[in-house]
Structure 1
Amino acid sequence: MGLLEKLQTNVLTADGAMGTLLYSYGIDYCNEELNIQKPEIIEKIHQDYIVAGADIIQTNTYGANAIKLARYGLENQMKEINEAAIQIAKRVAAPAGQFVLGTIGGIRGIRKSDATIDEIIATVNQQATQLLSGNPDGLLLETYYDFEELSATITHLRKLTDTPIIAQVSMHDPGILQNGISLNDALHHLEALGANIVGVNCRLGPHHTIQAFEGVTLPEKAFLSAYPNASLLDVEDGRIVYESEADYFGKAALYLREAGVRLIGGCCGTTPKHIEAVKKRIGTLPPITDKIVTPRKPIIIQEAEPTINQPLHEKAKTERTIIVELDTPRHLDTTTFMEGAEQLNAAGIDAVTMADNSLASPRISNMAMGSMLKLQNNIRPLAHITCRDRNLIGLQSHLMGLDALGIHDILAVTGDPTKIGDFPGATSVYDVSSLELLQLIKQLNEGISFSGKSLRKKANFSVAAAFNPNVRVLDRAVKRLEKKIECGADYFITQPVYSKEKIEEIYEATKHLSTPIFLGIMPLTNSRNSEFLHNEVPGIKLSDEVLERMRACGEDKERSTAEGIQIAKELIDTAAELFNGIYIITPFFRVDMSLELIRHIKEIDAKKARENSYVKASN
C-alpha cells in the first residue's frame, strides 16, 4: 500500500528533527555531509524514530542542494550525499516497512537575492533526480517561506515525476505567509499545482500551528500535514533550546487531528520522545473527513492618509524638482544644520535629503532631524535608509516610525561597508539587499508587515533607489535600474556626475524609462577634495578635464570654490535640459555653494519660461 492510499484511512506519524539531535551531539557543521562521513550516526537517528513509532522517516537531505552545500565547499559532492541519504533511510525502514520521504529544503527566506528562481529550479532538479533514483515513497518540500519558490518547485517536480509530493510552508505568524496570503489560500493553491499533501512546518510551536489550522478548510483531493517545532526557541548559555515537554506535544497532535491533519511529525526541537508521545496519543484514531471552519472577520486595512505634498516622483515627471542633500551632524550641536536647511528651503527646493550614516560613520539620526525639520520648520525631509545598520526587525520598526511621523519620502540603499567608517569592527547586518528593501517597503504600502500580517493601515511611502552611472558599462547599470523598478522604485537618485558627456550618455541609456531620475551634482571645494572623491570614494569618478581644472587652482581657496561652482553650473546646464530632477549634494556644510547652484537652476528655468512665453505670444 502506498503512502497516499494509507492516508485515505489513517493518521500517520512522521519523524522529528534531525538537526536538533545532531546539535545535541555537539555537531554544528554541515549535517548532510554525515551521510557519507559518519552514516552510522544518521542510521541510528532514523532507527530511534522508528522505535518511537514513526510511520514515516525523511532523508537527511534538507540542505543537500548545490547552493547550500557550496557554503561548505561540498557542492561537487551533492550527488554522493543524496544517494547515500536515500540508501541509509531505505535500509533502516525496510524491516518494518516505514515510508521514506526524500527531503528538499527551501532556499530563500526574505532575501530573494539569495538565488533566482532559475538557479533554484536547476539545483532542485539535480537533487530530486538523485533522490528519485532511490525510489522514495514521496518528496518532502519543507521550510519554504518564499511562496514563489515553493510554487515554482512544485510545478517543476510535477513535470518530472508522479511520486507523491508533500509541500510545507513556513509562517512567521499563525495563519498567514510572509507575502500576506492566508494559509488556507496558500495550501489550496499548492494542491492545485499538484501537491498531494500540503501543510506547514518549522518556526511555530504546537499552539500557534493549531491556531493556524483552525482557519484551513479540508482540501478536495490532497491531505493536510503539520510538523510543528517543539516550542518557541530560547537561548541558554549561547545554545538554542526548546522547552516543550513531550507529552504536551502529544496532546497537541490530537488537536491537529481534529483540525483535519493526517500526517503529523516534528520539526526543530523535537526528539524521538516527542514522536513517541504523538504515536501514543493518536494511536489508531481515524482521520477527520468533515470540518466546519468559521469564517474569521476580515481585518480591514485603512487607506493611508493622503500626503500634503505631491510625491516627488510625480512632480518630477512634469516639472523641475530640486532636492538637496545636507548631512546631519556628527556631533550634538544642530544649530548649523537647522540654519542651513532653513536657507535651502527659503531658496525654493522641494526637499532636504539626509543620508543614513554616510561612509559608515555615525551621525544624528535622519529620522530625528527629519522630524525636527518637518515639525519645527515645515521643511520636507527625504530620509535615506541603509540595509547595513538594521536587521529586519529594526528596518520595519524604523519605517513604521517614519510613517507615524509623516515622513513619506525615502531612499533605499545598501549602505557603505562598515570597514570604511569610524568603527571598522562594527557588524554590517545586510539582512536584505536594497532590491528586497524596496519590495518590503511597497509591502508596507499595502498594509502588510514584513512577516505577512496586517498592519491595519497602509503606509504611504514614495521610494527612491540609488543609481551609480559612473561605471564602465552603463547598460549593466541600467539593467539593474529595471530590476529596481520591478521591485517598486518610484524614482532614482544618482551619484554625482562630473562630465557633460556622461550626463548625455545617461539620458540616452535611460530615456526609455518612465521612472524619473534625479541627476546628482556635487560642487568641488578644492583640488585635494576632487582627488579624494575620484580615487577613494566608491561610486564617484571625475573626468580628466575636471581634475585638471581643479588642480590648476592650487591652494587658492576662493579660486577653488569659484571653479568648483562653475564646473557644477556647466553640468547643471546640461542636466537641466535633459532631466527634471536635480539632486544637489552639499559638500562639507558649504550651504553657500548649494544656494548658488539653486539660484542658477532657477535662472535657467525662468529664462526658459520667458522664451516659451515669447514663442506662445508670437504664435
Structure 2
Amino acid sequence: MGNLAQALQDQVLVADGAMGTLLYSQYGISHDFESLNLTHGGDILQIHQAYIAAGADVIQTNTYAANSIKLSRYGLENKLTAINEAAVSLAHTAKVASERPVYILGTIGGIAGSTDITDPDLLTPAAIDASVRQQVEVLLATKAIDGLLLETYFDLAELKRAIKVVQSLTDLPIVANVTMYEPGVLQGGTTLTQALSELAALGVAAAGANCHLGPYQMNEALEKTQLPLGTPLAVYPNAGLPNMEHGQLIYDGSAAYFRTYAETFRQKGAHLIGGCCGTTPEHIAGLFAGLKSRQPVQPEINVQVRQQQAENQAAVARTHPFLEAVKTKKVPLVELDPPKTLRTDRFLKSAQALAEAGIGAITLSDGSLATTRISNLALAAKLKLEYGITPLVHVTTRDHNLIGLQAEIMGLSMLGLDDVLVITGDPAKVGDLPGATSVYDVHSTELISYFKKYNEGISPTGRKLGKACSFSVGAALNPNVRNLDRIPKTIARKVDAGADYIITQPIFDPQIAVDLAKVVADNDIQVPIFVGVLPLLSYRNARFLHHEVPGIRLSEDTLTRMKAAEADGNEREVGLQIAEELVDVICEHFNGIHITTPMQHAEISGALAQYVKAKNTAKV
C-alpha cells in the first residue's frame, strides 16, 4: 500500500471507530480511558484487532486525552510517557498480527474549551501547545506510527497551532479533523469550507471532520461545503445521537444504517471514512461492505456554496458613501441624540437641516449617559425610510444580552441600517434609572466580530442566516489619555475584530490631534479616523463636561476662555470659535470629523459641518 500520504491520495481507506464507546460499555467508566493502556492492555488490543477484522485499513492509538493537561485531572501526568508508549505498542501488535497492511495514527485530541479543567493557566495557547509537543515527542519516539491524527478540534486556531507543532517535529502525514457545532459551521461561525481550505494550506495529508454529528448531519454539512482541491477528505461521524438510559449514554444507531452512508461519503469526495462516538466494529464492517469502490471521487464544484460566496461578496462590496468619501475629502459626521420624550418634531427638523448641509451621516446614540430616550433603531429607520437620510446607529453592549444583541443585529439588517458604531455604553447606574442593570454579556470588540460574522451570512453560533449582511462597523476610541502609547494596540485589536473605521471621543486640545496623527503615521494605521469635536455652549457646560462626563477632559486654556466668555456674554460664539480652531488642526491630519451636537442645538453642529466642508473647496 506504500506510505500513508500516498495511500490517502490513491484510494479510499476505511478507518476504525470509537474506542471509548466500547470501553464504556465494558467497564462503565466515561473518563480516563487512556490509563487502561497500562491496566487492560489485552482489551485494548482486542478492540484494535476487531476493527482490523471489520475491514479497517487505519487504526488510531488510544491516546486521545493522553496529554499532560487532561491526565492531570486524575493525577496521571507523571505516567504520560508510559501511557502513550503502551498505546502505540498495542496498536503495533495488532498491526503486525494482521494479514494485510494496516496504518497506525497516533491520536491527539483538542484541549481548548475543556470544561473539566479548572486551572485557567493550563488552557492558555502556550500551555496547550507545550502539551501537544510533549505528547507528539513521545509518540514519535516509539518509531511505530505511520502518521498523526489531530481530532475533535472545535477551535480551528488551536488545531492550526497543533499542526505547526507537529510539523516542527516530523514529516509524517497529518490527518486534521475539526468538529462542528452545526452542520457546515464550526465554533465562532467559521464555515467548514473555510476551515478545510485553511487546513489544506498548511499541507496536511487529509483534512476533515469528526464527532458531534451523525452520518445524516455530516452528509448535510458536506453538501454545504466546497472541498479544497488536492487534499483528501476525512469523515468520522458519530453513530447518531445518544440516549440516556439508567444514567448512561447509549448510542443505538444501527450498523446497517451507518452502512448506507459509506458510498455517499465516497461520492462526496471522502478518502478516509471511519467512525466516532457510538460506532463499533459492526459499524466499520458496514462501511467496508457499503463501499462500491475504493476509487476516490473528484469533488465537484458545489454550486450552492459558490452562490452563497458570491452573495456574501456582493453584500460586503456594497458601498458606504461616507467611508468612500472620506478617502479623498473632509467628511463631517454629526451625532444627534434621540429625544427623551415622544415629541420628535424638533429632532426630525434638525436631522433634515443637517442632511441638507451635506453631512456624511447622522450618528444616533444609544441611551447616552445611560438616560432613557427613544430607540435609536426606530429613529434610524424613520430617517432612512421616510427622509432618505443616512443614519449611523450606535449599538451598546450595555443594554442587550446575547439573545437581544443578535436580534438587534438582524433587525438592523432587515431595515437596511448597515452603518453602526459599536460601543460599550455608559454604566446604567450613572443614568436616570440607577436601579437598572447593565448587561455586558460581551465586550465591544467581541460585538464588532459578531457584526462581521453576520456579513458572512453566519451567526456567532454558526447558524446559517440565509443571506449575508453588509455592515460597516465603527469602533470608539478615547484619545484623552495621558499616554498615547497604548492607542496602536487598542486600534489594532478592534481592527483585527473587523472595525472599518474609528470614531473618537471629543477632544478639546489641538495637541491631542497632532499627537494622535503621529501615532497613526508611525504605526501605519490605515482605517479612517473621525476625530471628535463638541462645540461648547457655556462655561457651565464646559465645567460639567470636564468634571463629570467620563472620557472627556478640557484644556486649561479652553476653560479659561469659556470663563471669560461667560463674563462677556458671548459663550456660544467663543465655543464655536474654539471648535473651529480644533477643526483647523484636525483637518491638517485627518479627513474625518465627528461633531457631537450640544444639547440638541443642531444649528451649531450644522454651522461647524459647513465649516468642515468649506475646507474641501478652499485654495491650498
Fold match, TM over 0.5? Answer: yes
Aligned CA-pair RMSD: 5.5
Residue 11 (str. 1) matches residue 14 (str. 2): yes
Deviations 1:480-505 (A, max 9, x none): 43565566544321112121111221
User: 1:575-590, aligned counterparts within 5 Å?
Assistant: 575-587=586-598, 590=599
More displaced 10-residue stretch of structure 1: 367-376 or 470-479:
470-479
The correspondence of residues 519-598 of structure 1 with structure 2, limited to 5 A, is 519-523=531-535, 539-546=551-558, 567-587=578-598, 590-592=599-601, 594-598=602-606
- List gaps (5 residues or longer) in structure 2: 53-58, 96-101, 115-119
Cα pair 1:312 1:462 within 8 Å, conserved: no
SS in 1 for 2:168: helix
The offset of 1:182, in angstroms, is 3.0
> How far apart, in 2, do the equivalents of 1:532 and 1:83 lie?
66
Residue 530 of structure 2 aligns with an amino acid whose one-letter code is F
Structure 1 contact 61–103 (Cα < 8 Å) conserved:
yes
521-530 or 343-352, larger mean C-alpha shift = 521-530
CA shift, 1:208, in A, is: 1.8
How far the C-alpha of 1:322 sits from its partner, in A, is 1.7
1:206-605 equivalent positions in 2, closer than 5 A? 206-213=215-222, 224-229=233-238, 231=240, 245-247=252-254, 251-256=257-262, 258-260=264-266, 270-271=277-278, 274-275=279-280, 277-279=282-284, 281-282=286-287, 288-291=294-297, 295-298=301-304, 299-300=306-307, 301-302=310-311, 304=314, 311-329=321-339, 334=344, 337-358=347-368, 364-386=374-396, 398-413=408-423, 423-424=436-437, 426=439, 428-430=441-443, 433=446, 436-437=449-450, 439-440=452-453, 443-444=455-456, 459-482=469-492, 484-485=494-495, 488-511=498-521, 513-523=525-535, 539-546=551-558, 567-587=578-598, 590-592=599-601, 594-603=602-611
CA contact (8 A) 2:423 2:444 kept: no
- What TM-score do the two structures reach when normalised by structure 2? 0.70
Question: Does the 8 A contact of 1:13 with 1:263 survive in 2?
Answer: no
CA displacement 1:415-465 (0-9 Å, x = unmatched): 567787764363513596256346436x44xx6776889877664443333
In the alignment, the residues of structure 2 paired with residue 46 and residue 418 of structure 1 have an alpha-carbon distance, to the nearest angstrom, of: 63
Deviation of 1:192 after TM superposition, in Å, equals 6.7
The answer to whether the 8 Å contact 1:324/1:353 transfers is yes
Deviation per CA, 1:298-322, whole angstroms, max 9, x where unpaired?
5433575899996112212333322
Residue 182 of structure 1 corresponds to 193
Contact residue 215 and residue 293 of structure 1 kept, 8 A: no
Deviation at residue 583 of structure 1 after TM alignment: 0.8
Displacement of 1:46 in angstroms is 11
**TM-score, normalisation: structure 1:** 0.70
- Contact 1:79 / 1:127 at 8 angstroms: preserved in 2? no
Instruction: Say if 2:156 and 2:178, in contact at 8 Å, map to a contact too.
Output: yes
Structure 1 SS opposite 2:442: coil
Instruction: For 1:191 and 1:450, locate their aligned partners in 2 and report how far apart those are by CA, in whole Å.
Output: 24
| 2:106 aligned partner | 101
- Letter of the 2:297 counterpart: K
C-alpha distance 88-320 of structure 1, shift in aligned 2 (>3 A):
same
Report if aligned partners of 1:387, 1:415 keep a CA contact under 8 Å in 2: yes
Q: Matches of 2:463 and 2:385 in 1, distance apart?
A: 31
Give the 5 Å matches for 1:188-203: 190=199, 193-203=202-212
1:161 to 154, 162, 170: 170
Shift of 1:352: 1.3
Residue ranges of structure 1 left out of the alignment (5+ in a row): 110-114
Structure 2: distance between partners of 1:282 and 1:601: 70
Percent of residue pairs identical:
33
Q: How many residues are paired up?
A: 572
**Relative to structure 2, which stretch is displaced further, 293-302 or 462-471?**
293-302
Supply the distance in 2 between the matched residues of 1:376 and 1:220 (Cα, whole angstroms). 50
Cα separation, 2, equivalents of 1:44 and 1:394: 51
Q: CA deviation at 1:354?
A: 1.7
Paired with 1:108 and 1:570, the residues of 2 have a C-alpha distance of 52
Three-state SS of the structure 1 residue aligned to 2:280 is helix
Residue 112 of structure 1: aligned partner: none
| 1:371 Cα deviation from its structure 2 partner | 0.5
CA distance in 2, matches of 1:339, 1:219: 55
CA distance in 1, matches of 2:239, 2:386: 52
Contact 1:142 1:201 in 2 (8 A): yes
Distance (whole Å) between structure 2 residues aligned to residue 532 and residue 41 of structure 1: 71
Q: What residue identity is the alignment partner of 2:355?
A: N
